[in-house]
Structure 1
């Protein structure tokens, strides 16, 4: 890191050199002289002493205003390794020239002492600054690659370019093709994502659950939300093989259905019973709060036990565009399924795909209380 540290210039007054020459001196503002028109320059021949003061270090330092200043910065011409300035007058003496040279040297040294205090703090922060810059660069590269990956078009390949890797499929297996190194010195590789093909297959499996519910309504009549989620997990894990474990889909915390690769979420599904417009919009907020900017695909499963399922579907289609992060309707997949594009909660330029699916499950049968004669 030392090669990137800022080196404050150091001057060498003992090695300065001087030269003398004639010069034209403007005396129009000299109040000790009678000048009939002071609005114009009035020159007479005088003497100039040219001074060259050697220095080492970064000459950019002379262009920096330190945080501490007396607002009377010395003025001179700075070249590679040399500071040049002149002392001119019509009645110069050796004593006056010496005093002015000493004053200039003292002013430059004072300026550099203030600059040294700032440079010490800057050099001490280089490590943290480098890490923040690297992290920012990584995130910028990943946002660009993930943006292209989410467009659904074939990307142009460049020789030697690192490509966004996605989860390959076998029985449909979801896992990255090669493990990524932890060391930060290796070439940067982007995070895994869920391919559009796998995302569509996940949605299809969940949509097919409607048929299962319709064929066996009794099995779902008295089931609660957690049990419904378990049915979806069983179906999904029947279609997708796990990597290191038997299950690709699982749940943890407040998130209902997850696909994790390298401890990163690449798919999030949320299961909720319909409780009205307010509860539905809060569910969208909840899903968006779970998604980091790397997570681009999610699903919201809305279960309905009201009698008027058509009204629920109409309400979903009506209120979703009212969400503050809503961007557009990508497609209406079916009468009860929509794919939307949302903006990230912290970055409007980051786009997230959320598919909303509605399911009409059999209404819960309330047990009747029988009053038997005593």
Structure 2
């Protein structure tokens, strides 16, 4: 799609102002008199605000490279007037996905400031900006060719971020003034209604109030929904829903440990593992195994499904950020090609738990095979890394830390 050229953003914003005026005019006299104007102004703000666009880091797990025939343009100087403009050659199609939130139509709007040199073409798909590049195989033979492609990607991304920042500036200005504008118009409307009531009383006309005038309008917020992440689950893996269910069980048990850490002062790593297994077995009717042989060792927790894919987890006592890479590699060694959804669970007895948490992202990002680290909660990190045990396999690993310090 072509960017920032379909609509004039000033016209879009003016249209929002007109919609706001119409909305305020649709309030009945009784509604205006019976309700707090601050609440009505909040409603108007939530209904007519334009969410600015935020572009996140690349979603590495969505990246794809496809080999196929592509069309390569032939310069007029090198072809006859009867020859085709394009020739088909062997090549690749590379797709890169960047998540975004906010109003998607802003990508179609020309802001008050814009670049006359134009913008790269992209696709918008289920909450992602998709950059697509076609390259002949002959153009992708070296590390330098790869670096050129990524340099082009970075330039295109920077160009789009610059363009969307212009649009965001305009809508942020509109949003900043929206509530005050709505409140001012509501006050003007109320003043007219009060004048009407005053005139009606002067003529001794009994006013018929509806039952609605004795009640209040509930404040209803209209929140623009964000796009859902693309479901990239594959048939040979455990499902995303099952993965989330297992992680929730572990999280709830970990929170139980944290409430009464003194009760667990004397127990060791394998004991924590056994309590987690007990909770999981309560839900999986004995299907959760501990010290289970899998690939190159015995994993702490293993829940195998009918298709032989498994959830695999490793439990550790925290000994410092230096041991994180070894723990990830150990977990990786237990995985078969069917296993790509895992967990690494740390029990922390250090006094300064928050300082421990601050070191975890850096320790994870320092692992050479790590491709993505997302902070899910203060003590929870969602990671994606390339398996060494099964080259080419992308592994999801949820790293969770629980505070068991007891004075």
Please confirm whether the aligned pair reaches a TM-score higher than 0.5, indicating the same fold: no
User: What's the TM-score once normalised by structure 2's chain length?
Assistant: 0.40
Q: Please, what TM-score do these two structures have when normalized by structure 1?
A: 0.43
More helix by share: 2
Larger radius of gyration: 1
